[in-house]
Amino acid sequence: MTQPTTSKILSFLDPASPQPWASFIEQIDRVAPHLGKLGYWLETLKHPKRVLNVAIPIQLDDGTLAHFEGFRVHHNLSRGPGKGGVRFHPNVTMNEVMALSGWMTIKNAALNLPFGGAKGGVRVDPKSLSLAELERLTRRYTSEIGFLIGPNKDIPAPDVGTDEQTMAWIMDTYSVNHGATMTGVVTGKPISLGGSLGRREATGRGVFVAAREAGLLQGVAVKDARVVVQGFGNVGSITALCFANAGARIIALQDASGSVANPNGIDVAAAIAYVKAGGKLIDMQGVEVISTNDFWMLSSDFLVPAALEGQIDAELAERLDTKIIVEGANGPTLPEADDVLTRRGITVVPDVIANAGGVTVSYFEWVQDFSSFFWSEQEINGRLEKIMAAAFHDVAQLAVERKVSLRTAAFIIACTRILAARDRRGLYP
């Protein structure tokens, strides 16, 4: 019997919107000529190991019943337990969660962390629920996926729309169901429950480290650099703050409320405090509200897309005026846009390296939970910088040797590690 193609197998998931899983598959295909005999196993990366779709019924505060849809995907576990966040967002789809789990597989291998790739999500607008409703939603979701997760099986973490409190509820629910406190089932927890110092800032800090190292190679200094940041959540805000503390000028920011600019530099610390207090970027003093198109067209040294996937297509890539793009979000640049940016000489530091700071410190947290021995924030940040910088330079060196983009180089390193493990393990039965 002829085997159906990957696209046919998975097309039912979201036939109207093939992205972003299609982007992940294309990125995998681009690595094939560089894998030698390990290419035999490449097809395994085009098929998630497990895909779980769950119904999540909860009682709302007014007594009515509401149903939500949840997902958890194990993409590849050849190198270790699954690792990946849980996203609460109204536009979450299985297609998206699959792609995010695939990028986690690549990211963990590119950083040489002992994890496979996983991801989860619930299609919900968390802002539409009360705190009590969010807790009920999180605990029911945890119970539904509970047989998949565990300290040695799959370790969730925060993502878009989730935070330390979400992780605390997941940890508690899992622990109650297993009759013992098991802090290692999630990372990104509150410090009081075994969380790691520096975890909250780790992704944004890692984006800055990757940007700084790319700037050193390209001769683009961070001091006095013009920086544009799309997304002002945990990742974008910390990245912007790190840039500002290093002497860069943050000339534009964008969040769900809109885009703002100041050619002399935005006071990032003030912006963080303003948004944290419930304000919107577009209502801040000292900034000019600009259109989305004008935001993307600003001339900059560093552009950091730190919102959602699929932001930069080929048409936009032709018009961008920047030197280095550093992907704070997962999958913000489509494959056809990558080709345009390469042709135009714009360096793209890919997500699987640039935003790996969060999972790196999650690894530190997981290790600390197993040993019940915790490191100082200075130790955490030092280890993070060392691992991030080394991983970036390994990728940059291979990119020069193979004459490929940084993204393809990162995928070559990661796929080689993953498929070497797959080859050694063999097939069972």
Residues in CB range of 373: below 8 A, 6 or more apart? none
Paired tokens of 408:
């393809």
Intrachain domains 46-181 and 200-354 with the same fold: yes
Read off the pLDDT band of 4 (50, 70, 90): very low
Q: Examine the pLDDT at 414 and tell me if it is beyond 70.
A: yes
pLDDT digits (tens, 9 = 90+) for 35-81: 999 999 999 999 999 999 999 999 999 999 999 999 999 999 999 99
Q: How far apart are CA 357 and CA 385, in angstroms?
A: 9
How much of the chain exceeds pLDDT 70, in percent? Answer: 96
Q: How many CA atoms lie within 13 A of 152 on its CB side?
A: 1
Q: Could you please state the CATH topology (level 3) that the domain comprising 200-354 is classified under.
A: Rossmann fold (3.40.50)
Q: Examine the pLDDT at 10 and tell me if it is beyond 70.
A: no
Which among 284, 330, 335, 274 has a CA at the least distance from the CA of 307? 330
Instruction: Name the residue with tokens 């002992």.
Output: 114
Q: Which residues of 296-312 are buried (b: 16+ CB within 10 A; e: fewer)?
A: bebebbbbbbbbbbbbb
Residues in CB range of 215: below 8 A, 6 or more apart? 221, 222, 225, 301, 302, 324
Mean pLDDT of the chain: 92
Instruction: Name the residue with tokens 């940890």.
Output: 171
Catalytic residue, from 83, 107, 119, 323: name it. 119
Paired tokens of 346:
């714009």
Read off the pLDDT band of 8 (50, 70, 90): very low
Q: How far apart are CA 384 and CA 357, in angstroms?
A: 7
Which among 75, 215, 197, 230 has a CA at the least distance from the CA of 148? 75
**Residue-level pLDDT at 256:** 87
Per-residue pLDDT, averaged over 266-292, amounts to 92
Read off the pLDDT band of 401 (50, 70, 90): very high
Residue 146 DSSP one-character state: T
- Is residue 119 annotated as part of the catalytic site, yes or no? yes
Q: How far apart are CA 179 and CA 156, in angstroms?
A: 19
Per-residue pLDDT, averaged over 196-210, amounts to 92
pLDDT digits (tens, 9 = 90+) for 246-268: 999 999 999 888 999 999 999 99
**Residue-level pLDDT at 18:** 56
**Residue-level pLDDT at 11:** 39
Read off the pLDDT band of 206 (50, 70, 90): very high
pLDDT digits (tens, 9 = 90+) for 123-135: 999 999 999 999 9
Q: Tell me the CATH number of domain 46-181, given options 3.40.50.10860, 3.40.50.300, 3.50.50.60, 3.90.1150.10.
A: 3.40.50.10860
CA angle 24/100/268 to nearest 5° reads: 115
**Residue-level pLDDT at 37:** 96
Q: Examine the pLDDT at 2 and tell me if it is beyond 90.
A: no
Residue extents of the structural domains in the chain: 46-181, 200-354
**Number of Cβ atoms within 10 Å of the Cβ of 228:** 27
Which among 66, 64, 113, 104 has a CA at the least distance from the CA of 84? 104
Cis peptide, bond prior to residue 305, ω within 30 of zero: no
**Residue-level pLDDT at 125:** 95
- Pairing mode, if any, of strands 65-76 and 116-123? antiparallel
**Residue-level pLDDT at 425:** 95
Taking each helix axis as running N to C, give the angle between helix 406-425 and helix 377-402, from 0 to 180 degrees, rounded to the nearest 10: 100
Residue 48 and residue 337 in contact, taking contact as beta carbons nearer than 8 Å: no
Beta bridge partners of 122: 70, 88
**Residue-level pLDDT at 309:** 80
Which among 385, 377, 378 has a CA at the least distance from the CA of 360? 385
**Residue-level pLDDT at 88:** 97
Instruction: Name the residue with tokens 């297509």.
Output: 313
Instruction: Name the residue with tokens 């291979």.
Output: 398
